[in-house]
């Protein structure tokens, strides 16, 4: 009797075959892979990927009781978090009641960015876990988390267990266990866990989503997404005064560490978790050709950087390929080191048309393979831009945040909470999109062996409906446009 891929992997994982966990058998020999994770950690990724968790309640499409005023507490207010404080202060129906950061100076600077009256914003600071005291307050509805990655899931779970909705910066979790913990907490408490994937609200991404909803591409065959952003050298300086939390992520792990910028938008187009599902994936990383060289270069200027010489930096380019249950493929790339122009790829290839955002400008081709003219593109936008764009793009661009998509994301989330509507990106999206990182680490360490992607919906994806982009309900949250930015 033959053994298929899934059966073989389950047998291997259950018996702890060394060739699966730490190397691969080829020609009768065992080849040890160089990886950044211990065999125990790799085995745990595998076991968690196949562990079953019963669903307590289906959060997809769930409409929580509406909140006329959304009382918000922020945790982690560096550059990204303090910008979020400013953006939300423009949204009517928001009351910023607390700001938390380990550094009181950071919390005070974030508070100073509030642009409208009516936000008491009590400061919580001085300890790494000051956020717990904030989360225990009874007058907070939403906890907005922009901390280092390792704290996203713990704060998310704690917030929901204390009766709060939570919005988590990407990735929402670092491990498969944390992904399941978020799912279970959200289902148990019936509190939303929103992943703050701003790229889902960029204008071309929303256009292509609406095009897909209208059958413009035909059957989706293949999509591509990425995070290609040259920030490698700056990683040595990020996170001051600790200066290295994100660098540490790039030393201890080797895989697709930041998959959601690329996966989120194409995942919505492919209706993942809502009529479609990711099945399994493979992942491969290059060697490191640059980060160690940066460490050597910087150590010539400051002894502090000598500790990073010959560290186990992740491969400069990671390429992961995902197959869905419908037989489609998704390519996801991660490269924050090599000198390439910024790209998230965002390619949608269907049986009738193709769209591609990068290299800029965005373009679309129909049938004959020729890109539409600028005039044709404008006509297409006028016809198919969803109401979220036509209603909000001008004010979103004015307030800003990566060209306006950050504000659009924030406004939409608040509007859903105020109107008692399902959120666009729920806990299943947060878990599934974030899980790609640890799963890719396992595959990279095992010579790009395939690994199944957990079904965090427990089969509910078959009946879950795509999120609404029509604004037929809600859309009535105002923006305080009378307050001018400095």
- Predicted confidence (pLDDT) per residue in 348-368, tens digit: 999 999 999 999 999 999 987
- Rounded CA gap, 33 and 22, in Å? 6
Tell me what pLDDT residue 35 has: 58
- Rounded CA gap, 14 and 16, in Å? 6
Q: How far apart are the first and last CA of the chain?
A: 71
| Token pair recorded at residue 342 | 């910024």
How far out from the chain centre does Cα 129 lie? 24
- Residues of the chain falling short of pLDDT 50: 1-5, 7-33, 484, 486
- Rounded CA gap, 403 and 362, in Å? 15
Tell me what pLDDT residue 369 has: 76
Other C-beta atoms lying within 10 Å of the C-beta of residue 386: 17
Q: Are 429 and 267 within 8 A, CB to CB? A: yes
Print burial letters for 96-111: b (CB count within 10 Å at least 16), e (below 16): bbbbbbbeeebbebbb
Instruction: Write out pLDDT tens, residues 152-197.
Output: 999 999 999 999 999 999 999 999 999 999 999 999 999 999 999 9
Q: What is the pTM of this model?
A: 0.92
Name the residue among 371, 340, 403 with its Cα closest to residue 204: 403
Q: Are 357 and 344 within 8 A, CB to CB? A: yes
CA quadruple 415, 406, 438, 283: dihedral sign: positive
What does the angle CA 198 – CA 201 – CA 204 come to, to the nearest 5 degrees?
125
- Rounded CA gap, 269 and 205, in Å? 9
Greatest Cα pair distance in the chain: 73
Tell me what pLDDT residue 48 has: 94
List CB contacts of 355: < 8 A, sequence separation 6 or more.
Answer: 204, 208, 211, 217, 346, 347, 348, 362, 363, 364
């Amino acid at each position: 009797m033959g053994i298929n891929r899934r059966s073989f992997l389950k047998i291997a994982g259950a018996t702890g075959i060394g060739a699966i966990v730490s190397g691969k058998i080829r020609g009768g020999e065992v080849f040890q892979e160089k990886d950044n994770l211990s065999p125990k950690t790799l085995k745990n990724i595998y076991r968690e990927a196949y562990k079953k968790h019963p669903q307590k309640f289906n959060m997809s499409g769930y409409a929580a009781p509406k909140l006329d005023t959304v009382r918000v507490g922020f945790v982690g207010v560096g550059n990204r978090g303090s910008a979020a404080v400013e953006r939300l202060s423009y949204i009517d129906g928001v009351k910023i009641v607390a700001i938390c950061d380990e550094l009181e100076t950071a919390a005070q600077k974030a508070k100073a960015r509030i642009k409208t009256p009516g936000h008491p914003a009590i400061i919580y600071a001085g300890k790494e876990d000051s956020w717990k005291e904030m989360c225990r307050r009874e007058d907070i509805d939403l906890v907005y988390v922009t901390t280092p990655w390792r704290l996203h899931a713990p704060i998310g779970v704690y917030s929901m267990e204390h009766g709060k909705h939570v919005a988590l910066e990407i990735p929402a979790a670092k491990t498969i266990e944390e992904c399941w913990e978020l799912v279970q907490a959200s289902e148990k408490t019936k509190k939303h866990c929103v992943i703050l994937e701003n790229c889902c609200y960029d204008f071309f991404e929303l256009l292509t989503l609406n095009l897909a909803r209208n059958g413009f591409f035909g059957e989706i065959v293949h999509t591509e997404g990425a995070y290609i952003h040259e920030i490698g050298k700056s990683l040595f300086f990020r996170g001051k005064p600790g200066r290295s939390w994100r660098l540490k992520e790039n030393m201890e792990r080797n895989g697709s560490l930041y998959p959601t910028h690329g996966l989120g938008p194409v995942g919505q187009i492919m209706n993942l978790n809502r009529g479609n599902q990711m099945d399994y994936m493979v992942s491969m990383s290059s060697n490191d050709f640059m980060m160690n060289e940066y460490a050597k270069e910087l150590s010539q200027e400051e002894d502090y950087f000598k500790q990073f010489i010959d560290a186990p930096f992740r491969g400069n380019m990671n390429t992961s390929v995902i197959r869905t249950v419908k037989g489609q493929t998704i390519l996801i790339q991660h490269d924050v080191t090599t000198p390439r122009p910024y790209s998230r790829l965002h390619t949608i290839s269907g049986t009738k048309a193709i769209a591609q955002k990068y290299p800029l400008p965005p373009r679309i081709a129909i049938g004959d393979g020729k890109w539409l003219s600028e005039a044709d593109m404008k006509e297409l936008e006028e016809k198919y831009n969803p109401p979220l764009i036509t209603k909000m793009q001008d004010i979103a661009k004015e307030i800003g945040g990566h060209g306006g998509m950050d504000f659009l994301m924030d406004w939409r989330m608040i509007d859903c909470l105020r109107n008692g509507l399902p959120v666009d990106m729920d806990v299943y999206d947060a878990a599934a999109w974030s899980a790609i990182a640890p799963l890719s680490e396992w595959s990279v360490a095992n010579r790009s062996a395939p690994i199944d992607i957990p079904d965090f919906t427990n089969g509910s994806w078959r009946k879950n409906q795509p999120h609404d982009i029509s604004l037929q309900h809600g859309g009535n949250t105002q923006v305080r446009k009378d307050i001018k930015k400095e």
